[in-house]
A and B are shown apart, each in its own frame.
Chain A
Amino acid sequence: MESGPLPLDPAAIRRDFPILDQTIHDRFPLVYLDSAASSQRPRQVIDALRDVYERNYANVHRGIHWLSERSTDLFEEARESIQALVGARHAHEIILTSGTTAGVNLVARSWGDANLRPGDEILLTDMEHHSNIVPWQQAAERTGAAVRFLPITDSGELDLEQLDAFLTDRTRLVAVTAVSNVLGTINPIGAIRERADRCGALLFVDGAQSVPHEPTDVQATRADFLAFSGHKMMGPSGVGALYGRETLLDAMPPFLGGGGMIRRVARDRFAPADLPFKFEAGTPPIADAIAMTAACRYLRDVGLERIAAHEQRLARLAHERLAAFDDVAIHGPAPDRKAGIVSFSIDRVHPQDISELLDHRGIAVRAGHHCAMPLHERLGVSASVRASFYAYTTVDEIDRFADGLRSVRETLRRTGSRRAPTAR
């Protein structure tokens, strides 16, 4: 018998996700395999959103009135839920943002502009999402620092043997994804932390694909920064969080200026507010942030260990089923070293044709470069097809996906073997 957490029951979970219970293109049950792009959210989160607008909505941290106090309490409760989810020491180490991208930009702008000097280096990897590349390129342009990329191996894992050569006394920060959004690779954040320590570099972790799918503990991994998005973790869209170590955040200048982020404003100067408000200018996505409490609670109740184990089982099954197709090349490592993401290419077949034909069998996957063009260049393909799973994905759906892919391959390969009917 397998050890570890009790397997979760996706059929029971699906009852909380009304959106999954529908028929598309008139006759196919929806098979949603695009959770890496955006997850679906349970009734509990949708109810929480409605509840805010129906009973608890007012601007936060502003009014001295009952409703504003109420919404502010709920808003701060959401911050504490997120704090507990990632194991942060203090609630004020959680900055509420619009998502992962905003978190990266905040650190690249605020920490980057204040600390990077010409000749300094930022180490990224060849499997980063554009969101964890471009803000660093921009910071490098502004400061004269250089961006370097740690290569990956042919099996789609970080080439740790080269890590020491890429970490120099000029490396100021390592920005790495915890889980690749294309390959599904689970990166050894702990090992990278230890090696980065030796050259005194900070560690920025892109948690967009990891926080929703596996337990996270920023104190155990000793990440300096961790950015992630609500919409990928069963929460609302438009809200996310940046964790930053208190001493670092305290020393960083504000990024966006505006209301809510100041202690005092005079005509010739301003004094920023304390953490976390220093980094939260303007009216935040109030209802969306408050509903994050329900998302965190849902993930906690289902159990992130069980979710991770479930997705790994699905990935293993998907690999087994796809291995039967000799023309399908899966990108990334073996399923025991990856999350619930399976990207693949079929020789001489356009990924968009595959996704379009799968869609007409009810199966939602994503085709494209998945915001990771440097990675695709390394893989030697311009685009790929990605199927991604979550707690609500069933074994039956993996079967439907594999059966769908079998029939799509037949459609696309039959070309040339038969003449189309012409004028009669």
Chain B
Amino acid sequence: MSPLTAEQLIDEFETLDDWNDRFQFIIELGDQLDPFPDAERTDANLVQGCQSNVWLIASRKEGDPPRIEFQADSDSQIVRGLIAILVMLLSGRTVAEIERANVEDLFRRLDLRRHLSRTRSNGLFSMIKRIRELASPAA
């Protein structure tokens, strides 16, 4: 999928003044996610703490420094969109970049916290936590 920076995402969001259009935009971002391998839809790959099912896997692309790639999917279209944002920002980055990325701040600037239900935003932070766990060298 085409890469999009945090700033570009915020710009795009600001052109949409209606939250229904913003949700539409988020859902369409999710539609651009790479297909998730069916074989990886296992309980072990489920992210705990999400009300909808979220599957998340990570792979290490060797190099100097190595880069971490993520794939994820959900049975909720809104959550798929949020996943797409996380993948755009964090997939293919180095461990140091992932640790440094202030994803929480981005979601705050997108005002998603106020517009997502509490269970949804808790789930979102569970996903971010899981991504960091998978990226950490110990994992």
Contacts and interface: CB of A to CB of B under 8 A. Distances in A.
Interface string A357-380: 101110000001000000000000
Among A359, A360, A419, A420, max chain B CB count under 10 A is at A420
A394 to B, nearest CB: 23
A424 B2 CA distance: 11
A423 B8 contact: yes
A353 B28 contact: no
Interface in A280-300: none
Contacts of B116: 356
A415 B52 contact: no
B117 interface: yes
A350 B115 CA distance: 18
Nearest to B26: A420
Contacts of B5: 423
B64 to A, nearest CB: 27
Contact of A411 (B3, B20, B76): B20
- Identify the interface centre among B25, B31, B119: most chain A CB within 10 Å of its CB: B31
A407 B21 CA distance: 11
A4 interface: no
Contacts of B31: 415-416, 419-420
B77 A415 contact: yes
Contact of A357 (B2, B23, B52): B23
B107 to A, nearest CB: 15
A356 B4 CA distance: 25
Q: What's the dominant secondary structure at chain A's contact region? A: loop
Contact of B27 (A25, A355, A415, A419): A415
B19 A356 contact: no
Contacts of A360: 19-20, 23, 115
Interface string B58-75: 000000000000000011
**Range of interface residues on chain A?**
20 to 34
Given A411-B23, A411-B24, A415-B30, A423 B3 contact: yes
Contact of A353 (B12, B32, B77, B119): B77
B77 A420 contact: no
Contact of B4 (A357, A407, A422): A422
Given A352-B120, A359-B117, A423-B4, A418 B28 contact: yes
B20 A412 contact: no
Nearest to B23: A357
Nearest to A359: B117
A416 B30 CA distance: 9
A117 to B, nearest CB: 39
B122 interface: no
B46 interface: no
Interface in A367-424: 368, 407, 411-412, 414-416, 418-424
B121 to A, nearest CB: 11
Interface string B5-37: 100100010000001100111011111100000
A238 to B, nearest CB: 22
B51 interface: yes
A404 to B, nearest CB: 10
Contacts of B28: 414-415, 418-420
Contacts of B1: 422
B56 to A, nearest CB: 17
B128 to A, nearest CB: 19
B49 to A, nearest CB: 14
B29 A350 contact: no
Nearest to B21: A411
B84 to A, nearest CB: 9
Contacts of A25: 19
B94 to A, nearest CB: 21
A414 B120 contact: no
A355 B8 CA distance: 29
B87 interface: no
A290 B39 CA distance: 59
B78 interface: yes
Most buried by A among B4, B74, B76, B116: B76
B52 A350 contact: yes
Given A352-B52, A353-B77, A359-B117, A423 B2 contact: yes
A356 B112 CA distance: 12
Given A360-B115, A422-B2, 10 more contacts: A350-B79, A352-B51, A352-B52, A352-B119, A353-B76, A361-B20, A411-B27, A415-B27, A418-B28, A423-B3
- A-B complex: 5 closest residue pairs judged by Cβ atoms: A420-B28, A350-B76, A422-B2, A415-B31, A353-B78
30 contacts: A349-B77, A350-B75, A350-B77, A352-B120, A355-B117, A356-B23, A356-B78, A356-B116, A356-B120, A357-B78, A359-B117, A361-B20, A368-B51, A407-B20, A411-B23, A411-B24, A412-B27, A414-B24, A414-B27, A415-B30, A415-B31, A418-B28, A420-B25, A420-B28, A420-B31, A421-B12, A422-B4, A423-B2, A423-B3, A423-B8
Interface of A: 25, 349-350, 352-353, 355-357, 359-361, 368, 407, 411-412, 414-416, 418-424
